[in-house]
């Protein structure tokens, strides 16, 4: 978790970015995203705001 | 500015045929000047500011980190503070993250949405960084991209692709090349390329300096 940041969806439309949103650094295994052609240890890390995430189950 | 000619209203336009977007930006500039929103001086100051920001800033940080382990720790723990120590103005970056390459983990940076880039540290991003091709392939074929930059990490190395799409700006701290033990910061900085700080390749080998 990186911390709380102004909401970019609001900022992009001239808003004040409030309330602040929590920003996470989320790592995915490349093999899970793209399949077995990827090197086994490789990862892609994406900055994702909390309200863009859904519970996994 | 040799490729320009002064016109009647006192500033310069390029002589050659302009693209649509170039014509548009000159028209906007002229309007802003005419209406007194900005001045020629503002434009000049902004050009100077943009040009002062270059990969030389990043290279200075990396070279210092290579020779001074305590600085390296500070650069990773508090990148903006470390920049301030080196008189590099990183205050316009919201959050600045330094990613250290090791023998086992190497980092590569992309902005899949657009062109997020640590501009105060690296200047303006190269055109390829903004291309759709790089933005796609950095994520789904990072090793293929590295191969094109002359780098083939072995399979037991973990490649981490960082998608810089929010408030974070990433700088890769490349590994210090072998055979550079006796070199000072200034020489070392010459080995630190822009591309090595994006993470698509390594710093230049020591032999480059000879």
Residue-number span of the structural domain to which B41 is assigned: 19-52
So what's the ipTM on this one? 0.83
Q: Does A8 touch chain B (CB under 8 A)?
A: yes
- Residue B140's contacts (CB-CB under 8 Å, 6 or more residues apart) are A33, A34
In this structure, the dihedral spanned by the alpha carbons of residues B119, B120, B124 and B125, taken in order and rounded to 10 degrees, is -40
Answer whether residue B98 is part of any domain.
Answer: yes
- Residue B24's contacts (CB-CB under 8 Å, 6 or more residues apart) are none
Q: Are B105 and B157 in contact (CB under 8 A)?
A: yes
pLDDT tens-digit readout, A42-56: 999 998 888 888 887
Task: Tell me if A47 and B139 make a contact (CB, 8 A cut-off).
Answer: no
| Tokens at B204, concatenated | 């230049």
Name the nearest CA neighbour of B55 among B174, B137, B157.
B174
Answer whether residue B10 is part of any domain.
Answer: no
Answer whether residue B1 is part of any domain.
Answer: no
Answer whether residue B127 is part of any domain.
Answer: yes
Whether B114 is catalytic is: yes
The pTM (predicted TM-score) of the whole model is: 0.82
- Residues B68-76: contacts with CB within 8 Å, 24+ apart? B72/B100, B72/B173, B75/B173, B76/B100, B76/B173
The domain total for chain B is 2
- B55 burial (CB, 10 Å; 0-12 / 13-18 / 19+) is buried
Instruction: For residue B206, give Cα distances in angstroms to A40, B5, B151, B197.
Output: 32, 45, 16, 17
Backbone phi, psi, residue A39, to 5°:
-65, 140
Answer whether residue B13 is part of any domain.
Answer: no
Whether B92 is catalytic is: no
Name the nearest CA neighbour of B81 among B68, B96, B67.
B96
Q: Is B71 helix (H, G, I), strand (E, B) or coil?
A: helix
B163: CATH: 3.90.330.10
Nearest to B168 among A33, A34, A47 (CB): A47
Q: How far is A14 from chain B (nearest CA, A)?
A: 17
Answer whether residue B40 is part of any domain.
Answer: yes
Mean pLDDT to the nearest integer, A12-41: 88
Does one domain contain both B114 and B38?
Answer: no
Final residue of a structural domain among B11, B31, B52: B52
Q: Are A27 and A39 in contact (CB under 8 A)?
A: no
For testing contact with chain A, the best of B116, B142, B165, B166 (most A CBs within 10 A): B166
* CB < 8 Å to A47, chain B: 163-168
Name the nearest CA neighbour of B82 among B165, B173, B160.
B173
Name the nearest CA neighbour of B174 among B184, B164, B163, B188.
B188
Does one domain contain both B37 and B122?
Answer: no
Q: Is B110 helix (H, G, I), strand (E, B) or coil?
A: strand
Per cent of chain B over pLDDT 90 is 68
pLDDT tens-digit readout, B138-155: 999 999 999 999 999 988
Does one domain contain both B112 and B132?
Answer: yes
Instruction: For residue B92, give Cα distances in angstroms to A5, B57, B99, B190.
Output: 15, 14, 19, 26
Does one domain contain both B44 and B62?
Answer: no
Answer with the residue of higher pLDDT: A47 or B65: B65
pLDDT tens-digit readout, B102-132: 999 999 999 988 888 888 889 889 999 999 9
Answer whether residue B129 is part of any domain.
Answer: yes
**Per-residue pLDDT, B137:** 94
């Amino acid at each position: 978790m990186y911390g709380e940041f102004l909401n970019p969806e609001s900022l992009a439309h001239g808003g004040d970015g409030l309330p602040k949103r929590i920003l996470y650094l989320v790592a995915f295994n490349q093999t899970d995203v793209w399949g077995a052609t990827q090197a086994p240890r490789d990862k892609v890390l994406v900055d994702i705001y909390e309200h863009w995430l859904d519970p996994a189950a | 500015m040799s490729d320009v000619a002064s016109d009647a209203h006192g500033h310069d336009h390029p002589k050659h045929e302009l693209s649509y977007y170039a014509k548009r930006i000159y028209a906007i500039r002229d309007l802003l000047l005419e209406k007194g929103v900005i001045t020629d001086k503002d434009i000049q100051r902004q050009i100077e500011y943009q040009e002062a920001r270059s990969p030389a800033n990043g290279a200075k940080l990396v070279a210092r980190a290579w020779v001074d382990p305590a600085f390296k720790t500070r650069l990773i723990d508090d990148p903006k503070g470390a920049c301030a120590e080196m008189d590099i103005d990183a205050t316009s970056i919201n959050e600045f993250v330094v990613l250290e390459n090791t023998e086992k983990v190497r980092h590569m940076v992309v902005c899949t949405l657009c062109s997020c880039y640590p501009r105060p540290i690296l200047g303006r991003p190269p055109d390829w960084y903004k291309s759709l091709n790089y933005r796609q392939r950095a994520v789904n074929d990072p090793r293929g991209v590295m191969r094109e930059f002359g780098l083939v990490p072995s399979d037991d190395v973990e490649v981490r692709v960082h998608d810089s799409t929010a408030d974070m700006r990433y700088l890769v701290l490349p590994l210090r090349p072998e055979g550079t033990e006796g070199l000072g910061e200034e020489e070392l900085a010459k080995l630190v390329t822009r591309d090595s700080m994006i993470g698509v390749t390594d710093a230049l080998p020591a032999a480059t300096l000879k």
